[in-house]
Structure 1
Amino acid sequence: MGNQQPFSHRLSKVSLGALLIAGASQSAYAQLSCSNVNTDTLGIPGVRVESSQPVAESASLPAHCQIRAVTAERVGQDGHDYAIQFEMNLPDQWNGSFVHQFNGGNDGEVKAATGPLLSGNTDRTALGEGYAVLSSDAGHDGSTYPEAGLAGGSRFGLDPEARLYYGYKTVETLTPIAKQIIHNFYDQEPEYSYGVGCSNGGRHAMVAASRLGDAYDGFLVGAPGFNLPKAAVQHALDVQQLSAINGDVRTSLTDEDRVLVASAVIQACDALDGLEDQMVSDIAACQATFDIDNYVCAEGQSDACIAPAKAQALKTIYAGPKDRKGNALYSDWAWDPGIAGGNWKFWKISSGIPPWDNLPLIGVMGSSSLAQIFTTPPTEIAGDPATLNQFLLDFDIANDGDMIYARRGKFHESAMSFMTPPDVDNPKLKKFNRSGGKMIIFHGVSDPVFSYLDTENWYKRLSDNYHGKADRFVKLYPVPGMNHCSGGMTTDDFNLFEQLVNWVENGEEPEAVMASHRAGAEKFSGWSETRTRKLCPYPQTAKYTGGDPESAESFTCE
């Protein structure tokens, strides 16, 4: 990793690495140019080049060579054709390093390999900074099943091998291939290798850190869905509880309701960090302080209070799903003012996007994924909104939630086996740590898709395994008010990738990180458009120490 050990030694530890080096056409290395890259000249066994073309410099991206290729082609047990489709962008002015762009959702599409560097600022990309970048569809084409409608993106879950590629095999397969392409194209190995992703992309990163610990120097991980099958069970709970309020998820919690809850959290917790600014930095103290029952409407009261049925639904949702013995099937959730954010509504209440507009996005993705990928045996499900919604309403959480751990017949691995890091319950990341790897994780405290508290508890277990010193190679940054990956009532413009690179390459350990409010982004009234805050590495929190209340300089991490 980096300057830790020779490239050939590192790559040989990765699945397929030795085969690729042995089979590659060494004589072609110094002769490749974008115009003559094809299957034969690239010379990597099992890799078929579909196109290679130069792309001119644009306002946001440098001139680069774009290679689109396919590997791991096969016919699935369900009779459909499968393959890993991927794109590599190789800049003319290469900085010598590589970024694996881990994509989100159910994958199934080759997103443009630009390497978004996460946070609410979408202008920063790895390709724009001179990195060679890889993106893939994770081993399945989401457009293969048009007859399945909205469930088509997860229909691949009926094939057991496609499940494994989605979970971990695609990253294992492509990591050595990408490095070999870089070697063949530039006649030079990448000096440093990074993985970057949010949501399911963050899950890919954490799985790679666990399974391929010596293949990457650093990971930037956002809102990691490392317990994605468990979160899918949570989505069933969400839909059941919200629908029970008035029979319609879309109108279960109005914008005014969510603002009322946010205001209640602010009233209880805002001053805990030393400043009343409609942001809650002391997360732990707020969870111990806030009780939604204190804000429920009394009999005959209707203004400035939360209706009892709505408060009860939120209490049940925030407590997380339970099995028939009362044991947690996922995680509890953090109370935070970011519940007022539009991104929270988008995922939990209503996406507002036809034909999904009568379901929250988790009702679409969560339903089809729970049915077809995360439970065993899978349930083939129709893709119309009514059917998707009904599946979640009918899902027996207490008795069937443990189907995410099941194996049966040709499905030799459970969802919790192929989707999560092998050491998820007792994280150690031994190989990654021994190899000198570094990881930065960030997570919005008001993330409506994956619980911040689940990530915090994972980090606590990692820290316990390193006697409180896990921060020597892994840092966690909670982002108050932020929703899923970005957005919410927050300051979500920050550059943690820069911090990661400085840590990996220069030994500069990250500390407090500047976060800015994006001009035009949603916010509570009274906020300055130029508000800045400090993101503090867990377990520190930002405390107000005096000065301009809109400036990060007025806070210290304690």
Structure 2
Amino acid sequence: MHRFSLPGSLLGTAALLAACHGGSNVAPDSTAPVATTATALAVVKPVVDCTQLAAVDVTDIGGAGSKITSATVVTTTLNGSSVSICAVKGTLAPANTFEVALPVSTWTQRFAELGCGGLCGSVSDPTQQSSFSFSYKCPLVQQGGFVTAATDMGHQGNDAGWTTDPQKQADFAYRGQHITTLAAKKLIKAYYGQEQKFSYFVGCSDGGREALMAAQRYPNDYNGIIAGAPAAHFQVQNSVFHGWSVVANSTTGDSTGNSVLYPDKVAVLHKAVLAACADTPDGLISDPRACNFDPASIACPAGAQDTGLCLTQAEVVAAGRIYGGPVDVKTGMPMQIGRPLPGSEGNWVGVEVPRTGSSSAPVPVKSGVFSYNIVTGAYNLIFTGTPAMPNIDTFGYTDGSFYSTYLLENHPLNDATNPDLSAFKKAGGKLILWHGWADQHISPMYTILYYEAMQNQMGQTTVDEFARMYLVPGVGHCGGGEGDDSIDLVSNITGWVEQGTAPGSVMTYKLDSSGSQTASRPVYPYPAVARYTGSGDWHDGANYVSDAARYNVRTPSWPGSVLYAPYAPKVQGVPAP
């Protein structure tokens, strides 16, 4: 997912959003609770001065021209306390800018590489708490226990020039995060006189893709990986998926038209969906796949003069197209296995529909719409070298051969959909996948599809030994939405890696603007869902229990199924160590 309209590092090293927030082993309180599940590891102090790290040679990792550009002690505030950090900046050739934050007096022998969102292009400051965990309380983060690292993945800014450079394509696809991790580990050894005991990767959106790429390409890099809302199917996501979001809501059926649906009518649609399908006391949908809402159910009567609280026929069609996706006209198969699901409508504004305008004040379908920008931004990464390259209006929306004709060439470069994680499991790695059911950018159906592909490839019993998946009702892309979007998965992954305690139920929380907790409810390993017991305050997660799946149908075959079979990764440019 490309970060065109989102501020700062929202999808960058906000890698621990919904990844280090609270704890499943403590009772809800009026304020955000603190998890305490991690192994107690001794604090290790530096053996050299921070400034000496400027002399560390990293050419063995990045090649000629790689260098440390600065190493200075800075002070940051974590959980209200000042923490001293040795902040190291550098470049790994040809152009991977990176930063590593090494605690001066609080390091607990752990390292975390932080995913970069969108098409990256900037380094989010790893010394800042917001880069690591947003606002919830996770002791390992807030006490300054991790060395953290971040990278821009080989390019600066989001101009299209880098997308045609084979080396920068490779650095973005897989190499940048790996070599940054190697550099961070070398700096750890130089600074503390010992290696880290445990290494982790945490990312969301494209950071989730990077997380899965690490498990697939570099199974020994990390002991534990958290992959949130992963854009693992990069090729499909940034062509047919987002392209359809544009043309589906267009008056002309292509990118030249005006929008059909606007924020006012999306709000009407969302209210109707929740009225029809919400099955929890907080008005959320436990599993949107079980919701059979038809937009035609709120169609305006024929000849209606006031259409403010209903959908016109054109709006009904546009909503149905956004939900349903295109279909192969020859086979009748869906061209996409996942679209925005019922209950996500409140998050469509700025992604599937424009931020402004109305039926009486129409705006172009591509105006202010994230989906249009991401397709044009990622175009050269996907279609380099393919014949008669298509565009947003001519993607194979009705022809399943589009996938084999156009997307297979760079699939093993950009995608992270290889379901064979046997090398990662053999190395002792643990994986937590998570996704918000109301994600407006990446359909949770694709994360379910990948999880099922892992089960098909390796067997469910084997997958259960090293992987878990959590789907969070009402939560949007990497957080936000109406659901409880704060969740501590860091304590769960460290507990699993370091203590062998496989995660079960995990408490999620809703915070107000001041950071105070207003609600909580548990999530359970997929496919189980939370059920309110019917007794006690429904805002209190203690009053929920695990319940059977609401939906039990496996993902059907579709033209893109070929992208979820084992494949050999594509390597180009300077090889990674």
Please tell me the TM-score bracket, short chain as reference: 0.7 to 0.9
Residue type matched to 2:150 in 1? S
Partners of 1:482 and 1:490 within 8 A in 2: yes
Q: Does 1:291 align with 2:294?
A: yes
Q: Where does 1:144-159 land on structure 2 (aligned, <5 Å)? A: 152-159=158-165
Which residue number corresponds to residue 90 of structure 2?
69
Q: Does 1:449 align with 2:465?
A: no
**Cα deviation digits, residues 493-531 of structure 1 (max 9, x gap):** 111111111111112221121112121499xxxxx9712
What is the DSSP-based 3-state SS (H/G/I as helix, E as strand, rest coil) of the residue aligned with 1:531? strand
Which residue number corresponds to residue 385 of structure 1?
none
Could you say if the C-alpha distance between residues 127 and 189 of structure 1 is closer, same or farther in structure 2, counting changes exceeding 3 Å?
Answer: farther
Match of 1:235 among 214, 224, 242: 242
Q: Equivalents in 1 of 2:215, 2:102: separation in Å?
A: 24
Which residue number corresponds to residue 349 of structure 1?
353
**Cα deviation digits, residues 318-361 of structure 1 (max 9, x gap):** 223455645544322353323113xx313222367xxx993212
Which residue number corresponds to residue 259 of structure 1?
267
Which residue number corresponds to residue 382 of structure 2?
374
Which residue number corresponds to residue 523 of structure 2?
535
Q: Equivalents in 2 of 1:480, 1:248: separation in Å?
A: 35
Which residue number corresponds to residue 99 of structure 2?
87
What is the DSSP-based 3-state SS (H/G/I as helix, E as strand, rest coil) of the residue aligned with 2:69? strand
Could you say if the C-alpha distance between residues 248 and 339 of structure 1 is closer, same or farther in structure 2, counting changes exceeding 3 Å?
Answer: farther
Could you say if the C-alpha distance between residues 324 and 284 of structure 1 is closer, same or farther in structure 2, counting changes exceeding 3 Å?
Answer: closer
Q: Equivalents in 2 of 1:521, 1:258: separation in Å?
A: 28
Q: Equivalents in 1 of 2:349, 2:258: separation in Å?
A: 9
Q: Does 1:305 align with 2:310?
A: yes
Q: Does 1:418 align with 2:413?
A: yes
Could you say if the C-alpha distance between residues 521 and 446 of structure 1 is closer, same or farther in structure 2, counting changes exceeding 3 Å?
Answer: farther
Q: Does 1:550 align with 2:553?
A: no
Q: How many residues align?
A: 479
Q: Does 1:96 align with 2:96?
A: no
Partners of 1:281 and 1:541 within 8 A in 2: yes
Partners of 1:119 and 1:486 within 8 A in 2: no
Which residue number corresponds to residue 33 of structure 1?
49
Which residue number corresponds to residue 439 of structure 1?
431
Q: Where does 1:171-186 land on structure 2 (aligned, <5 Å)? A: 171-186=177-192
Which residue number corresponds to residue 14 of structure 1?
none
What is the DSSP-based 3-state SS (H/G/I as helix, E as strand, rest coil) of the residue aligned with 1:542? strand
**Cα deviation digits, residues 115-161 of structure 1 (max 9, x gap):** 7587774676847532111111111122xxxxxxxxx4343111122
Q: Equivalents in 1 of 2:121, 2:88: separation in Å?
A: 18
Shift of 1:31: 5.9
Q: Does 1:52 align with 2:64?
A: no
Partners of 2:327 and 2:334 within 8 A in 1: yes
Which residue number corresponds to residue 13 of structure 1?
none
Which residue number corresponds to residue 459 of structure 1?
451
Which residue number corresponds to residue 3 of structure 1?
none
Residue type matched to 2:371 in 1? I
Which residue number corresponds to residue 11 of structure 1?
none
Shift of 1:402: 3.2
Could you say if the C-alpha distance between residues 513 and 40 of structure 1 is closer, same or farther in structure 2, counting changes exceeding 3 Å?
Answer: closer
Which residue number corresponds to residue 562 of structure 2?
none
What is the DSSP-based 3-state SS (H/G/I as helix, E as strand, rest coil) of the residue aligned with 2:161? helix
Q: Where does 1:383-532 land on structure 2 (aligned, <5 Å)? A: 392-393=392-393, 397-398=397-398, 402=402, 406=406, 414-421=409-416, 424=417, 427-469=419-461, 470-520=463-513, 530-532=518-520
Q: Equivalents in 1 of 2:122, 2:281: separation in Å?
A: 44
Is there any run of 5+ residues in structure 2 with no aligned partner, and where?
1-44, 357-364, 548-577
Could you say if the C-alpha distance between residues 186 and 43 of structure 1 is closer, same or farther in structure 2, counting changes exceeding 3 Å?
Answer: farther
Could you say if the C-alpha distance between residues 363 and 191 of structure 1 is closer, same or farther in structure 2, counting changes exceeding 3 Å?
Answer: same
Q: Equivalents in 1 of 2:294, 2:404: separation in Å?
A: 32
Which of structures 1 and 2 has the larger relative contact order (alpha carbons within 8 angstroms, sep 6+)?
A: 2
Could you say if the C-alpha distance between residues 405 and 418 of structure 1 is closer, same or farther in structure 2, counting changes exceeding 3 Å?
Answer: farther
Could you say if the C-alpha distance between residues 37 and 529 of structure 1 is closer, same or farther in structure 2, counting changes exceeding 3 Å?
Answer: closer
Could you say if the C-alpha distance between residues 397 and 282 of structure 1 is closer, same or farther in structure 2, counting changes exceeding 3 Å?
Answer: closer
What is the DSSP-based 3-state SS (H/G/I as helix, E as strand, rest coil) of the residue aligned with 1:67? strand
Partners of 1:231 and 1:450 within 8 A in 2: yes
Q: Does 1:363 align with 2:363?
A: no
Which residue number corresponds to residue 144 of structure 2?
129
Which residue number corresponds to residue 195 of structure 1?
201
Could you say if the C-alpha distance between residues 157 and 117 of structure 1 is closer, same or farther in structure 2, counting changes exceeding 3 Å?
Answer: closer
Residue type matched to 2:392 in 1? L
Residue type matched to 1:362 in 2? S
Identity rate, percent: 26
Could you say if the C-alpha distance between residues 260 and 479 of structure 1 is closer, same or farther in structure 2, counting changes exceeding 3 Å?
Answer: same
TM-score (norm 1): 0.77
Could you say if the C-alpha distance between residues 254 and 334 of structure 1 is closer, same or farther in structure 2, counting changes exceeding 3 Å?
Answer: closer
Residue type matched to 1:183 in 2? K
Q: Equivalents in 2 of 1:99, 1:279: separation in Å?
A: 33
Shift of 1:429: 0.6
Shift of 1:543: 1.3
Q: Equivalents in 2 of 1:306, 1:457: separation in Å?
A: 32
Is there any run of 5+ residues in structure 1 with no aligned partner, and where?
1-28, 74-82, 143-151, 382-389, 408-412, 523-527
What is the DSSP-based 3-state SS (H/G/I as helix, E as strand, rest coil) of the residue aligned with 1:347? coil
Could you say if the C-alpha distance between residues 117 and 65 of structure 1 is closer, same or farther in structure 2, counting changes exceeding 3 Å?
Answer: closer
Q: Equivalents in 1 of 2:511, 2:405: separation in Å?
A: 41
Shift of 1:44: 5.2
Which residue number corresponds to residue 345 of structure 2?
339
Q: Equivalents in 1 of 2:434, 2:514: separation in Å?
A: 20
**Cα deviation digits, residues 232-268 of structure 1 (max 9, x gap):** 1211111112122799988632333222222222232
Moved more, 470-479 or 190-199: 470-479
What is the DSSP-based 3-state SS (H/G/I as helix, E as strand, rest coil) of the residue aligned with 1:207? helix
Partners of 1:34 and 1:53 within 8 A in 2: yes
Shift of 1:276: 4.3
Residue type matched to 1:439 in 2? L
Shift of 1:290: 2.6
**Cα deviation digits, residues 158-194 of structure 1 (max 9, x gap):** 1122111111122232332221221111111110000
Shift of 1:396: 5.8
Could you say if the C-alpha distance between residues 512 and 31 of structure 1 is closer, same or farther in structure 2, counting changes exceeding 3 Å?
Answer: closer
Partners of 1:375 and 1:403 within 8 A in 2: no
TM-score (norm 2): 0.75
